[in-house]
Chain A
Amino acid sequence: MAPAPSRNDDGRVRAANVRTALALASIAAVFFGGVIAAKFMGGWTTGMGVVGFAVLLFLGFAIGRNLWRGRR
């Protein structure tokens, strides 16, 4: 059973909320930009490229952040 949050957790949870929201908003931005870029630059390969690049970027960011926190 998870412990009840304490007052000290307030800032931590707020920061987590903002992080979650930003990650989700960036997914929306990738899909919005991706669909236009794919058509503008031509062909489905651009679309795959945009999505693939975005997935790698997210992965790199998530892994990097985890490693950085582990060092601290």
Chain B
Amino acid sequence: MSSIPHDHAPGHDGHHHPTGLMRWITTTNHKDIGTLYLWFSFAMFMVGGVMALTIRAELFQPGLQVVDPEFFNSMTTLHGLIMVFGAIMPAAVGFANWMIPMLIGAPDMAFARMNNWSFWLLPPAAILLVTSLFVPGGAAAAGWTLYPPLTIQGGMGMDLTIFAVHIMGASSIMGSINIVTTILNLRAPGMTLMKMPLFCWTWLITAYLLIAVMPVLAGAVTMLLTDRHFGTSFFNAAGGGDPVLFQHVFWFFGHPEVYIIILPAFGIVSQIIPTFARKPLFGYASMVYATAGIAILSFIVWAHHMFTVGMPTAGVLFFMYATALIAVPTGVKIFNWLATMWRGSMTFEAPMMFAVGFLFLFTMGGFTGLVLSIAPIDMQLHDTYYVVAHFHYVMVAGSLFAFFGGIYYWLPKWTGTMYDEKVAQLHFWASLITFNVAFFPQHFLGLAGMPRRIPDYAQQFADWNMLSSIGAFGFGFSQLIFLYAVVKCVRGNGAKAPARPWEGGDTLEWTLPSPAPYHTFETPPVVK
């Protein structure tokens, strides 16, 4: 047997590799690049988190206390963009880089140099986004959805945001091409598609989604750019353009984007639950088909974000029923995870705690999504805090909790050191409680009619807002516990991790020593 061929830089095969800063700049190793992605996303999570806390500080009491309304709008815009494009998506790609080659028995990603490029495009994009705060006119303030006409009128900060979105989109497309090619062409002998761990399946489908929808967003913001500077009128009503068309194009990207964010999280949870239930995943094939079903349906539901914009009744009905239909494959997944746990010999280490927390909270976010899919109710709740609560239950308690679980699950393999279980459990409980204190009251605020993206509010919303802000600060500071747990593990302060720290772990990565060697599976394993 020989090595599986893949693109790599000279010297990559040798055991010698650069050290210090050059190692990280020039690396083509999937594990190094995965580490870069994960640290970058954590840094962006902190930056976006500070913006969230600025928003919550302003909303602690009615009236204007901390920032002026224009800056508040910039904060909501950049918080959304940074969390989606800078924190959650790169974290998912970080997991993909670290784990996909090890889960399918490949030596590296198919295009190792392009992998390096995919990552190193992100820091300049993040710098563009953050520095847009300091240019004349301030940062983009039209919300992360970038709706015209406000985005046609904005200052230079808007141009920087458009370029940042272009760069991040290019990075995502390159990363996705790499992931699909790796999974399709570099699997170990015997690793058929239907034997792949579910994390690989969810990423394969996510990568296809990304390849299809990121160019659509790129096209939309390109048209915005030409409207702003080159005299076109795609979305400029004054020139005969149609601002509503931007919303259609944006949400054709935006709704699949929700699944791009959540499907890798589904994959991680599908790895964790069988391991700690000590049972195979219930209904593997149905999980694969459900994932594909969710991805396909995600292309035909975009206009449920636009019920209040106005569309024919037939259109409203179509998008309403299509949206409700997504509950079916999603329900298949939830019940399969529950069935996997049923009568399992379960233990509740930190990864499993986060997976169970994910199950509980994501289901709540899913249910409020179903509520919002009903057009007459959505007309009432559109652009209220109910929507804010809904998508934070999906994105934070969904994706982020799964990512925390995934990090605790694979940290022993990445670092060779067991994380501190007590600290991790503290992180879980602190995050769970403070998250719910922050976001559950927002349902009540939304139902009572409090609009989103407003720095001031009426007196009757004061109590729940104060509670929400206390919870948000608690959630933010809880993440310092996470940072402590990870740094402690990375520095080797803890028990040495065995090759297979989890009794129920039966995928390929657990056949490797801990920490995983710099080069793995140069000789492909044979999967039976």
Q: Which B residues are CB-close (under 8 A) to A11?
A: 5
* B245 in the interface (beta carbon within 8 A): yes
How far apart sit A19 and B219, CA to CA, in the bound complex (Å)?
25
Which of B180-188, B388-396, B447-455 lies on the face that meets chain A? B180-188
* A1, A27, A30, A32: the one within 8 Å of B218 (CB): A32
* B212 in the interface (beta carbon within 8 A): yes
Shortest A11–chain B CB gap in Å is 8
Task: For A39, give the chain B residue with the smallest CB separation.
Answer: B234
Shortest A45–chain B CB gap in Å is 14
Knowing A6-B2, A7-B2, A21-B177 are in contact, say whether A1-B528 is a contact too (CB < 8 A). yes
Task: For B190, give the chain A residue with the smallest CB separation.
Answer: A1
Task: For A33, give the chain B residue with the smallest CB separation.
Answer: B219
* B6 in the interface (beta carbon within 8 A): yes
Q: Which B residues are CB-close (under 8 A) to A28?
A: 173, 177, 211-212, 214-215
Q: By DSSP majority rule, is chain B's interface helix, strand, loop, or mixed?
A: helix
* B249 in the interface (beta carbon within 8 A): yes
Q: Which bucket holds chain A's interface residue count? A: 20 to 34
B interface footprint on A1-43 (CB within 8 Å = 1, 0 otherwise): 1111111011101101100110011011111111110011000
Task: For A27, give the chain B residue with the smallest CB separation.
Answer: B211
Q: By DSSP majority rule, is chain A's interface helix, strand, loop, or mixed?
A: helix
Q: Which A residues are CB-close (under 8 A) to B222?
A: 36
Are A29 and B234 in contact (CB-based, < 8 A)? Answer: no
Q: Which A residues are CB-close (under 8 A) to B220?
A: 35
Are A1 and B211 in contact (CB-based, < 8 A)? Answer: no
Are B180 and A24 in contact (CB-based, < 8 A)? Answer: yes
Q: Which A residues are CB-close (under 8 A) to B4?
A: 5, 13
Q: Which B residues are CB-close (under 8 A) to A16?
A: 185
Interface CB pairs A-B, < 8 A, 29 = A1-B189, A1-B528, A2-B190, A5-B2, A5-B524, A6-B2, A13-B186, A14-B5, A16-B185, A17-B186, A20-B110, A20-B180, A20-B185, A21-B111, A21-B177, A24-B211, A25-B173, A27-B211, A28-B177, A28-B214, A29-B215, A31-B216, A32-B218, A33-B219, A34-B219, A35-B216, A36-B222, A39-B223, A40-B234
Q: Which residues of A contact B (CB under 8 A)?
A: 1-7, 9-11, 13-14, 16-17, 20-21, 24-25, 27-36, 39-40
